[in-house]
Amino acid sequence: MPFTSLCRLASVARYVGETGKNIEKVFAEAEGLARSMEAILVFDEAEGLFGRRNAEAASSVDKHANLDSGLLLYWLEHYPGLCILTTNARDAIDSAFFRRFRFMVEFSPPDRATRAKLWEASLPKLAPRSDDVDFQSLASEFEKFSGGDIQNAVIRAASRAALRSDEGKRCICMADLRDAARTERSKADESLQRLYV
């Protein structure tokens, strides 16, 4: 079954007032497909489009953003098809939208044993690695990591190792993985701070 994916960058227009037109266009197109069960509408990183309204909207930008939220509320209530919103910042979504959702599925971070398996699976078996790599230790130290966080850290660590000038030292070591994981954790902390400040 095909699906229409709407990301924030494609739907939030540069000019005030255009976002609403884009929202209507996407829902109208998806509605025709949904009636024949041929489409799933997906809003990835939904917090960008479904964010909290500004009760004291003073500027025209805030007023239009509130109008866009109202339009989204209408379409969610009347859309006949399956609509999926994804987010890793649930608290940033306006609470009015939650009443329109039939189901909310939360994917908890993996447990320690699963994280250890993810660390191991993310590091290719043929990748050169030092003997000090300890997946259990990484799983314990970075307990809130998702599979995506782990994969990003492994890619960062592998890139760091591959870029070493001394060819004999290009294997991935525990320090590479820890440093990369700390960078991932700080990126997540920074984005949460931006979200709530």
Q: What is the pLDDT of residues 104-160, one digit of tens each?
A: 998 888 999 999 999 999 998 899 999 999 999 999 999 989 999 999 999 999 999
Tokens 């994981």 found at: 181
Q: Which 3 state secondary structure label does DSSP give 4?
A: strand
What digits encode the pLDDT tens for the residues 87-109? 888 888 888 888 888 899 988 88
User: What are the structure tokens assigned to 87, written together?
Assistant: 């987010």
Judged against a pLDDT cut of 70, whether residue 22 lies above it is answered with: yes
Pairing of strands 40-44, 82-85: parallel
Instruction: Give the pLDDT band of residue 65 (cuts 50, 70, 90).
Output: low
Q: What is the pLDDT of residue 51?
A: 77
Q: Write out the residue limits of the CATH 3.40.50.300 domain(s) in the chain.
A: 3-98
Tokens 């660390």 found at: 119
Distance of CA 168 to the CA centre of its chain: 37
Q: What is the pLDDT of residue 64?
A: 62
Residue (of 51, 156, 138, 149) closest to 107 by Cα position: 149
Q: What is the pLDDT of residue 17?
A: 59
What's the average model confidence in pLDDT over 43-62? Answer: 71
- Domain 3-98 grouped into CATH 3.40.50.300: yes
Q: What angle do CA 118, 122, 123 make, to 5 degrees?
A: 125
Residue (of 13, 23, 28, 8) closest to 70 by Cα position: 23
Q: What is the pLDDT of residue 7?
A: 47
Which range has highest mean pLDDT (61-70, 143-152, 159-168)? 143-152
Q: What is the pLDDT of residue 3?
A: 53
The CATH class of 112-196 is mainly alpha
Contacts of 86 (CB under 8 A, 6+ apart): 42, 43, 44, 45, 46
What's the burial of 113, exposed, middle or buried (CB within 10 Å: 0-12/13-18/19+)?
Answer: exposed
Q: Write out the residue limits of the CATH 1.10.8.60 domain(s) in the chain.
A: 112-196
29 or 105, which is more confident?
A: 105
- Predicted TM-score (pTM) of the model is 0.62
**Whole-number average pLDDT of the chain:** 80
Residue (of 122, 95, 110, 100) closest to 177 by Cα position: 122
* CA distances, 37 to each of 41, 119, 189 (Å): 11, 39, 40
Q: Which amino acid, residue 144?
A: K
